[in-house]
């Protein structure tokens, strides 16, 4: 009896040889992730990337050219009638489509066909709008009996003579150069019909020291 009991105890204490051992439980400290090693870019991938960048650059240049050609037009200023805002031989861009979406406003620097010779273009500033009464008294501009501030006209460029009053016709604009004593403008050839106005000066690009946008604020600072 004792032998059989010892055998049973021995069998109970010995592990089951047919049962596979359970795998060890790995703790977070023992389960690390191998660091990613940067592999060199294959030559063909680098070539593809260069082609993509080149394509995107060419598309961007093409779009810029389309915008410049169809929306903006480079022009050269001849004369000093718009000094000090614009100087003789200065290069600027004009927006050719702005007045299809926006009205012409007082203070705009516009480019138009010269009413007395449509083969020539002039650039002047809008002073009077359709239906308004424009008058000049000792160089000061009055519109509908109210004086118009003109910070873009330096004192040395003022013309102290009188003019008017005149009423601006419908669909026409009274324009003047900032250099009043040497400007051929609406005081000479009359108001300009809106159909002759084909652009607004927006940006100067040459000479470099005049590089920047064109506005009434900048006109007074030049």
In a domain, 115, yes or no: yes
Question: Is 125 a member of any domain?
Answer: yes
Structure-token match 């004009």, residue found? 94
Name the average pLDDT for the chain: 82
Q: What is the DSSP letter of 151?
A: T
For residue 36, what pLDDT is reported? 53
Over residues 177-199, the mean pLDDT reads: 96
**CA distances in angstroms from 154 to 69, 79, 92, 112, 222, listed in the order given:** 35, 17, 22, 24, 10
Longest dimension (CA), the chain: 144
The pLDDT score that the predictor gives to residue 45 is 81
Residue 124 annotated to the active site: yes
Token representation of residue 59: 């598309």
7, 45, 81, 186: the catalytic one is: 81
Tokens of 186: 């609406």
Residue 111 within any structural domain of the chain: yes
Catalytic residue (one of 45, 124, 172, 222): 124
Over residues 129-177, the pLDDT tens digits come to 999 999 999 999 999 999 999 999 999 999 999 999 999 999 999 999 9
pLDDT above 90: percentage of residues in the chain: 54
Domain membership of residue 49 (yes or no) is no
- Give the per-residue SS3 of 151-201: CCCCHHHCCCCCEEEEECCCCEEEEECCCHHHCCCHHHHCCEEHHHEEEEE
Q: Which pLDDT band, with edges at 50, 70 and 90, does 23 fall under?
A: low
Asked about 7 being catalytic, the answer comes back as no
Residue 41: the pLDDT is 54
Would you say residue 143 lies in a domain? yes
Report pLDDT digits (tens) over 69-96.
678 888 999 999 999 999 999 999 999 9
Residue 180: which residues within 8 A CB-CB, separation 6 or more?
139, 153, 157, 158, 159
Answer yes or no: pTM beyond 0.85. Answer: no
Domain count, the chain: 1
Q: What is the CATH number of the domain that holds 110?
A: 2.10.109.10
Evaluate whether residue 215 is within a structural domain.
yes
- Tokens linked to 147: 């004086």
179/47 Cα distance (integer angstroms): 58
Structure-token pair, residue 103: 């009205």
Q: What b/e sequence results for 43-70 when a residue is b if at least 16 CB atoms lie within 10 Å of its CB, and e otherwise?
A: eeeeeeeeeeeeeeeeeeeeeeeeeeee
Residue with more model confidence, 141 or 61: 141
Within-domain flag for 32: no
179 pLDDT tier (thresholds 50, 70, 90): very high
Range of the domain at 204: 75-221
Please, which pLDDT band fits residue 219 given cuts at 50, 70 and 90? very low
Residue 206 lies in a domain: yes
Scan for tokens 């109210």, then name that residue: 146
Which is nearest to 176 in space by CA: 213, 144, 143, 202?
A: 143
Among the residue ranges 26-35, 41-50, 111-120, the one predicted with the least confidence is 26-35
């Amino acid at each position: 009896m004792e032998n059989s009991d010892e055998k049973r105890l021995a069998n109970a204490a010995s592990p089951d040889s047919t049962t596979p051992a359970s795998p060890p439980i790995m703790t977070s400290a023992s389960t690390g992730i191998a660091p990613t090693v940067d592999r060199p870019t294959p030559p063909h991938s680098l070539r593809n990337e260069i082609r993509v960048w080149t394509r995107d650059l060419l598309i961007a240049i093409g779009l810029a050219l389309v915008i410049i050609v169809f929306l903006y037009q480079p022009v050269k200023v001849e004369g000093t009638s718009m000094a000090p805002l614009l100087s003789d031989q200065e290069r600027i861009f004009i927006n050719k489509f702005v007045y299809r979406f926006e009205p012409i406003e007082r203070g705009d620097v516009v480019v138009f066909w010269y009413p007395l010779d449509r083969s020539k273009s002039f650039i002047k500033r809008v002073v009077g709008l359709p239906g308004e009464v424009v008058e000049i008294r000792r160089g000061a501009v009055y519109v509908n009996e109210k004086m118009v501030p003109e910070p873009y006209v330096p004192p040395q460029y003022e013309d102290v003579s009188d003019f008017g009053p005149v009423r601006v016709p419908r669909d026409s604009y009274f324009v003047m150069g900032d250099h009043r004593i040497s400007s051929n403008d609406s005081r000479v050839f009359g108001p300009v019909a809106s159909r002759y106005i084909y652009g607004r000066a927006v940006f100067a690009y040459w000479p470099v020291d005049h590089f920047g946008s064109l506005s009434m604020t900048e006109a007074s600072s030049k």
